[in-house]
Amino acid sequence: MAVGIFDSGLGGLTVLDAVEKRLPEVPFVYLGDNAHAPYGVRDADDVYELTTRGVERLWAAGCDLVILACNTASAAALRRMQESWVPRDKRVLGVFVPLIEALTEREWGDNSPPREVQVKHVALFATPATVSSRAFQRELAFRAIGVDVEAQSCGGVVDAIEEGDMILAEALVRSHVDALKRKMPDPQAAILGCTHYPLMQNIFQDALGPDVEVYSQPNLVAESLADYLTRRPEMLGEGAAKQFLTTGDPKRVSARATQFLRREITFEQA
């Protein structure tokens, strides 16, 4: 009954932590493609190839349902995968859906015409690949009108977090927020469009100010997944063991993961 969680590196652990707390009875298999992180500077074809390879590994581990806990993969690869690659008995879901559900206050299955929503000025912080894909703006436009989205490419933040250099990560976050506010001085809401960024959520909030509502993905994804499994319990695969897999150095990745989640995490070679 395992569910797979895929990320380019360690950022998806923020999602894993939230879904484990929300669904303690479900074993999760986490795969971090640390050998090829970060994805945010890669082109779409490269991201697609790496993502499909990772998803296949999770299917082999008994996970019929895989969550792409990576915004870059969700933005650059997911639609192509769903349209022409994912077999009928499997599911691959992304992490944009819960964000847009929360921002627009409507269910994903609501196919009524786009309508005006309360939030008019949104700041999007994401990797270069996610920003260039414009996937968030495209999906938002299907559901809401009159929303101004200003996207800020946050180069270097993922690399700093993966290396454990949180001082550099904080400096970069504050620099990127300053750059965004020069383009959009008064955002009403901010989207943390990378699953690494919740590790820096307090810094984003401090730099943006108390009047900006910051939308972070882990808890939103956890609630969305719980709802999905209630409606589609057959998508729980045959896997029964909780696992942490990495394409990188298991010892090094385990040490970083333990530092991030503040509990011992042991990765195995994928």
List residues with catalytic annotation. Answer: 70, 194
Task: Return the DSSP state at 23.
Answer: -
Residue type, 191: I
Residue 125 burial (C-beta neighbours within 10 Å; 0-12, 13-18, 19+): buried
- For 93, the enclosing helix (H) or strand (E) is strand 91-93
Give the strands of the sheet with 268-269, arranged side by side. 91-93, 65-68, 3-7, 28-32, 243-246, 268-269
Closest CA relative to residue 162, chosen from 75, 80, 41, 52: 41
Q: Which helix (H) or strand (E) holds 15?
A: helix 13-22
* Residue whose structure tokens are 């993922």: 158
Question: Tokens 């990127």 correspond to what residue?
Answer: 176
Rounded Cα gap, residues 97 and 192, in angstroms: 13
Residue 244 in contact with residue 260, Cβ under 8 Å? no
